[in-house]
Structure 1
Amino acid sequence: MRRDVFYIAVLSVIVIISGCAGITEDPTKKWSQERFYREAREKMMDGAYEDAIKYFETLEARFPYGRYSEQAQLEIAYAYYKYDEPALAIAAADRFIRLHPTHPNVDYAYYLKGLVNFRGERGIVNWLLGSSDDLTDRDPKSARESYNAFREVVDRFPNSRYAKDAQQRMAYLYDAQAKYETQVARFYYERDLHVAAINRSKYALENYPRTPATEDALGIMALSYQKMGITQLYDDTLRILKKNFPQSHYLKTLRASAD
């Protein structure tokens, strides 16, 4: 009996020693905040965004104060953007803006929010105007949020290095949203939903004036009024269309429909 107890005790010690030997020491345990930041940046440059995020988050946890920690918060937002985690990227950018509203790089946080929603050079437009049986099921919310973020950069930080690019993207998004609205108006018109087509065209004209889509909005409105037999509004819309777009293809279509 005593011998069994002795063997059990020996085995327990062996198990404990083996377990301790299997514990791997954290290689970053003695890293300075400068080392963390440097290693994380190198991971970013290598495209290892998941590892970069871990290093930045560990840096912030171990060294919660100072310029490296602040910059790490902003780098995390960018790393999530590159890692294709848009919700986390925006959350990180919003957190940086909330914690450091006067930081010298806060303009980049707003710009990054715009980029995340922009989804690449032509991502939003391809999505908004892509083929679909029902264009009305598309929500242009991300386009609006992207536009608003870029506008923050342009309005609040006119001297920012990102202001010019943000302004160009705003113009692109403005035209894209106008075109989307007229695409939806055409969708309604082709299904004989003329009141909905008119309302959508009016929305495009009121909210996105002076864009290439203006001609489409006026043309669809005129066609809809013509189909509904509302003569006065048809004549008014036709007059505006002729004045602003005398070579419009809609004029030929309207004349053919009237014959």
Structure 2
Amino acid sequence: MSKIIPIVLALLLSACGSTSKDIDETKNWSPSKLYAEARDEMNTGNYERAIQHFEKLESRYPFGTYAQQAQMEIAYAHYRQGDQAQALAAVERFIKLHPDHPNVDYMYYLRGLINFNDRVSIFDVFSRQDPTERDPKAVREAFDAFKLLVERFPDSKYTPDARDRLAYLVNAMASYDVHVASYYYRRGAYVAAAARAQSAIKNYPGTPATEQALYIMMKSYEALNLPELRADAQRVLDLNYPNSTYYHGGPVKKEKPWWQVW
């Protein structure tokens, strides 16, 4: 009998310990306190705990401004945490549930930022990796998000920054196409090089990449023994860039990609 008592006591103590761990300290918090604590966690960089608090806030008080604010904060916390998939899912959920919310413009802006901040993994690699192996999907999605914001909410306080980022993204996409054209040219795929360079000029006219695209077209047509097309490309190049340095550096000059200075 004396051996049984310690075992029973141990089991009781174990049960008490597990129960104490399961106690939710936020159980009796008011929505304002729960929100304030979540914001404090966010401000200190504890995004995981902030998300937990915001999720409880939304769950316990599903109707009203606190729940809607919590949904936006959850999207932002995932974004700051670096969880792109969760952040985008939260943004899309909010837009779907609250298309007429007075702050829905911010969610369109955040959607653009989430994709925009993936640009380094897409474009900051040309010196190390074949550019045709990279997928510019995130950049195009960022462009679409910012474009939609500008079109739907021209007076939004986020629109001026969105316009600046759109200009950057247009240049980035044009530069990507020209790098691919340069890749094809270096490998002797002159038809593909000319076509990709022409696509960059057509889709992104007036961007800084246009000069190099014209030169790649000229040299590709020269390699293909198409003198008339070569002459046309050179005429346009000389007209728009009479002092082009590509005549001296070739179509694949080694220089720091301009987007890395953003």
TM-score, shorter chain, exceeding 0.5 = yes
Aligned to 2:92: 94
Shift of 1:134: 1.6
Deviations 1:160-217 (A, max 9, x none): 1100001001101110111111111111111111011011101101111110111111
> Secondary structure of the equivalent of 1:211?
coil
Aligned-residue RMSD, C-alpha: 2.1
Q: Which runs of 5+ in 2 are unaligned?
A: 251-262
Q: Is the 8 A contact 1:118 1:124 kept in 2?
A: no
Question: Is 2:194 aligned against 1:194?
Answer: no
> Secondary structure of the equivalent of 2:135?
coil
Deviations 1:68-92 (A, max 9, x none): 0011001000000111111111110
Q: Which runs of 5+ in 1 are unaligned?
A: 255-259
Q: Is the 8 A contact 1:153 1:163 kept in 2?
A: yes
The aligned runs of 1:49-128 (5 Å cut-off) are 49-119=47-117, 123=120, 126-127=123-124
Deviations 1:89-122 (A, max 9, x none): 11101110011000011111111111111117x7
Aligned to 2:13: 18
Shift of 1:240: 1.1
> Secondary structure of the equivalent of 1:177?
helix
Shift of 1:249: 2.7
Aligned to 1:257: none
Shift of 1:11: 6.8
State the TM-score, normalized to the length of structure 2: 0.87
Aligned to 1:37: 35
Q: Structure 1 residues 124, 105: CA separation in 2 closer, same or farther (over 3 Å shift)?
A: farther
> Secondary structure of the equivalent of 1:131?
coil
The aligned runs of 1:81-230 (5 Å cut-off) are 81-119=79-117, 123=120, 126-127=123-124, 129-230=125-226
Aligned to 2:254: none
Q: Structure 1 residues 44, 252: CA separation in 2 closer, same or farther (over 3 Å shift)?
A: closer
Q: Structure 1 residues 164, 253: CA separation in 2 closer, same or farther (over 3 Å shift)?
A: closer
Query: Runs in 1 of length 4+ with deviation above 3 angstroms?
Result: 10-17, 250-254
